[in-house]
Amino acid sequence: MMKLKATKVAMTKPWLVWRSRRFSIRLDRRVPGVMLVLALMILVVLIVSIGYGNYFLPPMEVVRALLGQKTANPDASLLVMTLRLPRAIAALEVGMGLAVAGAILQGVTRNPLAAPEIVGVQAGAGLVTVAILVLLPALPLVLLPVAAFVGGLLTALLVYLLAWNRGSTPLRLVLVGIGVAAIVTALTTLLITFGEIREVSQALVWLIGSVYGCGWEQVATLFPWLLIFLPLAWGLARELNALTLGDDIARGLGSRVEWQRGLLLLTSVALTGASVAIAGSLGFIGLMAPHLARQMVGSSHAGLIPTAALIGGLIVVAADLVGRSVFAPIELPCGVITAVLGAPYFLYLLLQHYDR
Amino acid sequence: MVDPPTSSNESPRLRSRMIGLAIGVLLLIGCFLVNLVAGAARTDFNTVWNALFAFNDSTEQVIIRTARLPRALIAPTVGAALAVAGALMQGLTRNPLADSGLLGINAGAALAVVATTVWLGNASMQLYTWVAFAGAAIAAGAVYFLGSLGRRGMTPLKLVLAGAVLSYLLAAFTIGLLILSERTLEEIRFWLAGSVAGRSLEAFWQVFPYLIAGFAIAFSLGRQITALSLGEDVARGLGLRIGWVKAMSAIAVVLLAGGAVSLAGPIAFVGLVVPHLVRFWVGVDYQWLLPYAAIWGAILLSLADLAARWLLQPQELPVGVMTTLLGGPFFIYLARSRVK
């Protein structure tokens, strides 16, 4: 009996390992398969999402337009390439950014309830962005993520400092985050109450999170942030694994704990800030995606981070599609959809982790 | 029945409490008068007096009667209602962080009102009030249920987190509804931030009876809540019918919070801050705590409204923003000191 068990374990080796002289990756065995399936799902949802709208395009037509081939309707190519594709890609980018930001935050704080919107990062980034939209509408779009990043960073620091009372506990962090978010949101409300009604209507949509009106400019603005910080997050996966074991163990494993934690948090805030600057305060992605990913590929971050990114992207693209279609022709912002999904999930997590 | 704890220094304490009550009432009257006098149009106490008791149709008097009087009445009433609702919930759930705003009850009432506006256009105040009660009741039931899910039963923390998430969800629905019908956005957005401006005296009188009923139920439960706040076992030992007390308190909370929201929109943190402040003076005896909370809640919201009008003249802040800016730091302080 024992022997059988041993061989079974040996046969289904749980890790995939690549090693070169300076570099090695160890991935959960399930990662490539899961990621492949997720990528295919994203592709399908993207094509449906691009095809859907008040002018409906069949999937083959979408694919043809995307590949630059001749389409049956000459306008299809224009419609896809200038309007619908950038919006869908922006949704994908935002989802990836928020999901990875959440994965890092949960790992670093060892707090399953930590998510950018809960510890106040999104509220802070949102306040700065709304302030700029209302007060300095002339500011170029490229600078918006930088401002949101700074706002998110300051708010996160504030929450962390306030939650520090001879040490920090996950629940107090969440509570203080709720309090700070309430104050910051009140300031945002203030700005909105005094804005022009047209801008306000926009700001409201934006406040709950939406990729409405995203074009190539938004896609291009967000892209460099992802290009830098997603690989950085993935590269720090091993350090993140060590940190989740606790500071002492991480130190024992040779981590420079404070420095690495700082770098990881910075990465998380940067990804959040940039995403919020483009799509507003989209809730619960950073909470849901990492947990779902953990259930699929385990908690080693080398596999968790890319999987969470794909799940986040998938959720936002799908939520945008649902938001556009349930009350068509009126659009619901996709943040409403993610809130409907995410709020029950948060409660489920709460019961799972704090009711043993 | 439960007797309040008696002690040898009963009568000096009683006197200090009566004095505190008298000071509160005087301050409240002062706030009321200042609220009538202060504003964009210059007026003095004389004009106010005449507007109230010797009305003669002059512009100042019309302003006072139609714009300032409703507001000067609504602000303290709403403040008192929210503070008493908060105190009831804190006693009932033994949770120092309870507040009808934080627990999602205001958000429920607000969503119900917005939904009615979207579907029916301008309905009567009577209807709005009932709809707000329904929304508040459903949200209260939901948050109580969610907060007591799980093996350990209800813990203060779970209740607050469940409330925060519920508020987020309900606010998302509200915004979704507002986006679906842009028409209502303009009328409703100031109200949605919590505001006592622009309501008629008529609306006030229509909601007032329900609030009075809420206050009456709450004040009559003072002893029972005191016993309950010591723990359910203690309360049961003292011969309390816990289910009945809880049900009556819930009705009072719904009447007070729902009525307040239908008048002034979702205003957070009044119900959190005021009971804690009042406890410094009267301790944990809810027979005293509830009336004190009513008076100081009224004073607080009157002052907050005054500040909201004065800070950014000639612009006007929604008073809900003011209370959040005041109450948020207090919540953080409580979270720091009360949560391990």
| CB B337 within 8 Å of CB B218 | no
The owner of tokens 């609702």 is B85
CATH 1.10.3470.10 matches A84-354: yes
B193 in contact with A, Cβ within 8 Å: yes
Task: Measure CB to CB from residue B172 to each of A165, A178, A335 and give the nearest one.
Answer: A335
pLDDT attached to residue A5? 43
pLDDT attached to residue A199? 64
* Residues of chain B positioned with their CB less than 8 A from the CB of A205: 179
Q: Which of A16-25, A99-108, B97-106, B211-220 has the lowest mean pLDDT?
A: A16-25
Helix (H, G, I), strand (E, B) or coil at A26: strand
Q: Which of A135-144, A292-301, B102-111, B285-294 has the lowest mean pLDDT?
A: A135-144
Task: Measure CB to CB from residue A183 to each of B102, B317, B328 and give the nearest one.
Answer: B328
pLDDT in tens, B159-211: 888 888 888 889 888 888 887 776 666 667 777 777 877 778 888 898 999 99
pLDDT attached to residue B121? 73
DSSP per-residue codes, A74-119:
HHHHHIIIIIIHHHHHHHHHHHHHHHHHHHHHHHHHT-TT--TTTT
Q: How many residues in total does chain B contain?
A: 340
- Burial, B45: exposed, middle or buried (Cβ in 10 Å; 0-12, 13-18, 19+)? exposed
Q: Inter-chain contact A339–B172, Cβ cutoff 8 Å?
A: yes
Task: Measure CB to CB from residue B165 to each of A207, A336, A347 and give the nearest one.
Answer: A347
Whole-angstrom Cα distance, residue B263 to residue B78?
A: 8
Q: Inter-chain contact B331–A208, Cβ cutoff 8 Å?
A: no
Bigger pLDDT: B83 or A204?
B83
Average pLDDT over residues A133-160: 85
Residue A10 confidence (pLDDT) above 70: no
Q: Inter-chain contact A347–B186, Cβ cutoff 8 Å?
A: no
Residue B231 confidence (pLDDT) above 50: yes
Average pLDDT across chain B, whole number: 84
| CB B152 within 8 Å of CB B128 | no
Interface of B with A in 234-253 (CB under 8 A): none
Global ipTM: 0.80
Bigger pLDDT: B308 or B153?
B308
Q: Inter-chain contact A186–B328, Cβ cutoff 8 Å?
A: yes
If we measure between CA atoms, which residue out of B81, B212, B177 comes closest to residue B136?
A: B81
- The winner for highest mean pLDDT among A179-183, B190-194, B256-260, B332-336 is B256-260
Give percent above pLDDT 70 in chain A.
89
Residue A246 DSSP label = -
If we measure between CA atoms, which residue out of A22, A110, A48, A99 comes closest to residue A275?
A: A99
* Residues of chain B positioned with their CB less than 8 A from the CB of A175: 97, 157, 160-161, 335, 339
B97 in contact with A, Cβ within 8 Å: yes
Bigger pLDDT: A224 or B65?
A224
| CB B51 within 8 Å of CB B268 | no
- The winner for highest mean pLDDT among A117-131, A304-318, B240-254, B310-324 is A304-318
If we measure between CA atoms, which residue out of A114, A117, A122, A123 comes closest to residue A168?
A: A114
* Residues of chain B positioned with their CB less than 8 A from the CB of A207: 175
**Strand (E) positions, chain A?**
15-19, 24-28
Q: Inter-chain contact A193–B317, Cβ cutoff 8 Å?
A: yes
Task: Measure CB to CB from residue B160 to each of A175, A197, A208 and give the nearest one.
Answer: A175
B42 in contact with A, Cβ within 8 Å: no
Min Cα–Cα distance to chain B from A326, Å: 11
| CB A177 within 8 Å of CB B328 | no
- Where are the domains positioned within chain B? 78-338
| CB A299 within 8 Å of CB A27 | no
Whole-angstrom Cα distance, residue A310 to residue A129?
A: 26
**Computed from CA positions of residues A292, A297, A301, A306, in that sequence, does the dihedral angle turn out positive or negative?**
negative
Average pLDDT over residues A283-303: 89
pTM score > 0.80 for this model?
yes
CATH class assigned to B78-338:
mainly alpha
DSSP per-residue codes, B21-59:
HHHHHHHHHHHHHHHHH-SSS---HHHHHHHHHS----H
Task: Measure CB to CB from residue A189 to each of B157, B193, B336 and give the nearest one.
Answer: B193
Min Cα–Cα distance to chain A from B282, Å: 27
Q: Which of A179-183, A231-235, B57-61 has the lowest mean pLDDT?
A: B57-61
Task: Measure CB to CB from residue A201 to each of B162, B172, B182 and give the nearest one.
Answer: B182
Task: Compute how many other C-beta atoms are within 10 angstroms of the C-beta atom of residue B227.
Answer: 25
Whole-angstrom Cα distance, residue A42 to residue A74?
A: 26
**Computed from CA positions of residues A322, A288, A41, A69, in that sequence, does the dihedral angle turn out positive or negative?**
positive
